[in-house]
Structure 1
Amino acid sequence: MRVPDNLLFSIFQDQEARIKKVLSEKTLDIATGRRVRALSDDPSTTYNVIQLKSEIAQLSQHSQNRLFADTNLTYADFTLGKMEDTIKRLYAEIIRIKNSATISSDQLIAMAEGFNQSIRQLLDRVNEKLGQNYIFGGNALTVKPFDENTLNYQAGAGDFKVWISENSKVSVFLEGGRVFKTNLYVSRATFNSPTDSFSSAGSITIKIGANTYTINYGGAGEPQSIQELANYINSNLGDGIQAFVSTNPNGTYSLALSTKDLSADMEFVSITGDFSTGFDNPNILQAIKRVKDKLENGIYPDEFDLFSINRSYDIVAMRRSEVGYVLNVVKNLQPTQENLDLVLKKQKSDLEDADIPESMMEYTRYRMAYEALMRIVADQKDLTILRYI
């Protein structure tokens, strides 16, 4: 039965359009390397690709933050290590002075210069910058942390933190006021002699962690001098508090207190009597300067000086271990982020990119189908598409 020309032409048109459309798509797949080139091509796949791109961008930001944290914390660790070395030398010097009974006042004054140089070195360390930011300036990135004259902390009131993962952020610029804070306290009230009697009875209430201590003095049956008060504290509260009678740079005496626990802090709840003027809480630089000032005045260092230098070293070592722990977490995150990046990019590629070998095979197959269609028409009517145009 002979096929009508108009029906043959209609069939030919439909098949040719379908084959040409597929050939065009496969040609674009091969040329661009993309299977999805517009939202309208495949809305569902495009949405998934957009989501993956967002996750990849977020991961990239977290990876940059991780590298940023790694760099800053590594430098902070290095700086704290150098400070440890300096304070260790000062401690050894104090030990040498205390073990020698023949050092004169003039020699003590001369030794003060070495302490002064060490303080300048420490000051340079705590005011170190990485780029334009101070590593111990906390969240006030460009404010110099410690005043060169008073040695007071004057920068940010908290650490500067960055997100290194979706659920985790770390400190990269540390608050120097916290890092170099000591749990050493020296009474502002001074006495001409450790055995001078108190002029006004009172009490000191101190909170350390969950424990509260109330120390009465000056009344009947209570300590009557700072020497007796220090002895009483050490005998009765020695599990939480250490007390010293310390010579001040001007030759007077003060009550010095510290927590037994290195990581604990001391809060003064209330103070009455002779000590109502309160207690100073020197930072590490100021604690070392106190010793330097005494040497400059030819005053021999006491047990509290030795303790304060040792405590300063221990605090710096503790802060360094804290930085080291965070740094270890940051470094261990690197392979996890790199693997996740590969997985996300592979998922995106699987959705978005064309399979070039498969597209080439499809292109060849449809090209052959198109040529076969042309031959069928030519065999049926001895015509080509050009005869119909």
Structure 2
Amino acid sequence: MKVPDNLLFSLFQEQDARIRRQLAEKSLEISTGRKYRNISDDPSTTYNILELKKDISQLSQYSKNRLFADTALSYADFNLGKITDSLNLLYAKTIQAKNQVLQSDQLIAIGELFSSSLRALLDRVNDQLGGNYIFGGASLTQKPFDENTLDYVASTEGFKVWLSDNYKVDAFLNGGETFGLNVAISRATFSNPEINFNTSGTLNVSVGTTAININYTTTQTLNDLVQFINSNYSNLLQAKVSQNPDGTYSLMLMPVDISKEISVSDTSGGDFDSGTADFYSPNVLQAVKRVGDKLSSSLYPDDSDLMLLQRAFDRVSYRRSQVGSVLSQVKNLQPVQENLRDNLNKQKSDFEDAELSQSIMDYTRYRIAYEALMRIIADQKDMSIIKYIR
């Protein structure tokens, strides 16, 4: 039965359009390397691709944060190391001065060393990285330590950066915490540690989560109180009679555990009750200045000065170990993030990228089909498609 010309032509047009479309798609796949270029091509697969792109973008930000934290913490660790070196030197000089064999001018000379070291330490704690203060916490552009009072005046919060969906670290540290000492010195001063107290009272002491009350009476002296504390609370506290730079004496208390904070108050109306802030806690800079001022006043340092500088060294070393631990975790994240990035990119590639060998094979198959269609038409009408159209 003879096939009508118009039916043959319509069949040819349909097949011609389909094969041409398939050839164009495969040609585009081969040239771009992509299976899907429009959401309408495959909505479900396109959604997965978009989610993977979002995850890759987020991971890229985490990787940048990790590099930022690595740089900031490495620089903080470097400065903390230099600070401990300075404190170690000052401690050695204090031991030398404590032997009471040096002359007044020699004590003053060591005091000048403390003054120059204090300026260098101030530069360290107020150091910047990329215009931000590394020990200023979340303040970033606020100078952490006042150059006159040596008080910490910046943010009490560290500047945190996220390194994953559920992990963040302080890149810029809270200097008040980093250089704070868990040492309490009484504001009440005494002209002589051997003179009896004028008024009895009670010291309220908190060491970490442990609270104790220490009573003192008018039958005791400052030396007696120190001996009593060391005899009864040696598992928690160390107590010293500390000579001030003006020659008076104060009570110094320090926890045995370098990681535990201390607070001391006296609300009993006794000799240590000064109304507000009965005891204060110096930071590292103020501790160095305290000892340096005594030396500059030709006063020999005492055991409390050695204890103070030793605690300054121990606390900075302790903070440095904490920074080192965090820095190690940050560095260990690099291979984890790189592996995750490779996995996400592979998943995205599996969804998105065309298999070139398969695409080329399909393209060849469609070309053969198209050529076969041309031969069918030529055999049916003994003419080419160009002649048929004409």
SS at match of 1:207: strand
Shift of 1:18: 1.1
1:251 aligns with 2:247: yes
Shift of 1:157: 1.4
SS at match of 1:10: helix
For 2:248 and 2:75, the matched residues in 1 are separated by: 41
Amino acid at match of 1:256: M
For 2:95 and 2:111, the matched residues in 1 are separated by: 14
Give the structure 2 partner of residue 265 of structure 1.
261
Question: Which consecutive residues of structure 2, in runs of 5 or more, have no partner in the other structure?
Answer: none
1:82 aligns with 2:82: yes
For 2:185 and 2:296, the matched residues in 1 are separated by: 19
Deviates more, 1:173-182 or 1:354-363: 354-363
Shift of 1:8: 1.9
1:112 aligns with 2:104: no
Q: How does 1:236-385 map to 2 (within 5 A)?
A: 236-268=232-264, 270-272=266-268, 273-277=270-274, 278-385=278-385
Please give the per-residue CA displacement for 1:297-356, whole angstroms capped at 9, x wherever unaligned.
Answer: 111100000011111000010000000000000000000100111111111112112222
Shift of 1:110: 1.8
For 1:312 and 1:346, the matched residues in 2 are separated by: 52
1:232 aligns with 2:228: yes
Shift of 1:269: 5.5
1:42 aligns with 2:42: yes
Please give the per-residue CA displacement for 1:335-389, whole angstroms capped at 9, x wherever unaligned.
Answer: 0100111111111112112222222221111011101111011112212222135
For 2:369 and 2:127, the matched residues in 1 are separated by: 74
Checking the alignment, whether the CA contact within 8 Å between 1:115 and 1:292 is kept in structure 2 is yes
Q: How does 1:26-105 map to 2 (within 5 A)?
A: 26-98=26-98, 100-105=99-104
Amino acid at match of 1:207: S
SS at match of 2:148: coil
Checking the alignment, whether the CA contact within 8 Å between 1:240 and 1:261 is kept in structure 2 is yes
Amino acid at match of 1:360: I
SS at match of 1:276: coil
Question: Which consecutive residues of structure 1, in runs of 5 or more, have no partner in the other structure?
Answer: none
Amino acid at match of 1:368: I
SS at match of 1:198: coil
Shift of 1:114: 0.7
For 1:239 and 1:371, the matched residues in 2 are separated by: 96
Checking the alignment, whether the CA contact within 8 Å between 1:126 and 1:146 is kept in structure 2 is yes
Amino acid at match of 2:60: S
RMSD (Å), alpha carbons = 1.2
Shift of 1:270: 4.5
For 2:379 and 2:265, the matched residues in 1 are separated by: 107
Number of equivalent positions = 385
Checking the alignment, whether the CA contact within 8 Å between 2:122 and 2:145 is kept in structure 1 is yes
Checking the alignment, whether the CA contact within 8 Å between 1:66 and 1:164 is kept in structure 2 is yes
For 1:11 and 1:60, the matched residues in 2 are separated by: 53
For 2:262 and 2:101, the matched residues in 1 are separated by: 37
Amino acid at match of 1:229: L
Checking the alignment, whether the CA contact within 8 Å between 2:179 and 2:284 is kept in structure 1 is yes
Q: How does 1:148-297 map to 2 (within 5 A)?
A: 148-218=147-217, 224-268=220-264, 270-272=266-268, 273-277=270-274, 278-297=278-297
Checking the alignment, whether the CA contact within 8 Å between 2:265 and 2:273 is kept in structure 1 is no
For 1:11 and 1:144, the matched residues in 2 are separated by: 82
Q: How does 1:121-140 map to 2 (within 5 A)?
A: 121-140=120-139
Shift of 1:128: 0.6
Amino acid at match of 1:231: Q
Checking the alignment, whether the CA contact within 8 Å between 1:207 and 1:269 is kept in structure 2 is no
> Normalising by the residue count of structure 1, what TM-score does the alignment of the two structures yield?
0.96
Checking the alignment, whether the CA contact within 8 Å between 1:123 and 1:148 is kept in structure 2 is yes
Deviates more, 1:100-109 or 1:203-212: 100-109
For 1:180 and 1:111, the matched residues in 2 are separated by: 23
SS at match of 1:271: coil
For 2:306 and 2:108, the matched residues in 1 are separated by: 17
For 2:266 and 2:55, the matched residues in 1 are separated by: 54
Give the structure 2 partner of residue 388 of structure 1.
389
For 1:110 and 1:20, the matched residues in 2 are separated by: 94
For 2:21 and 2:174, the matched residues in 1 are separated by: 65
> Normalising by the residue count of structure 2, what TM-score does the alignment of the two structures yield?
0.96
For 1:87 and 1:301, the matched residues in 2 are separated by: 15
For 2:92 and 2:34, the matched residues in 1 are separated by: 70
SS at match of 1:190: coil
For 1:105 and 1:360, the matched residues in 2 are separated by: 93
SS at match of 1:34: coil
Identity of paired residues, percent?
A: 56
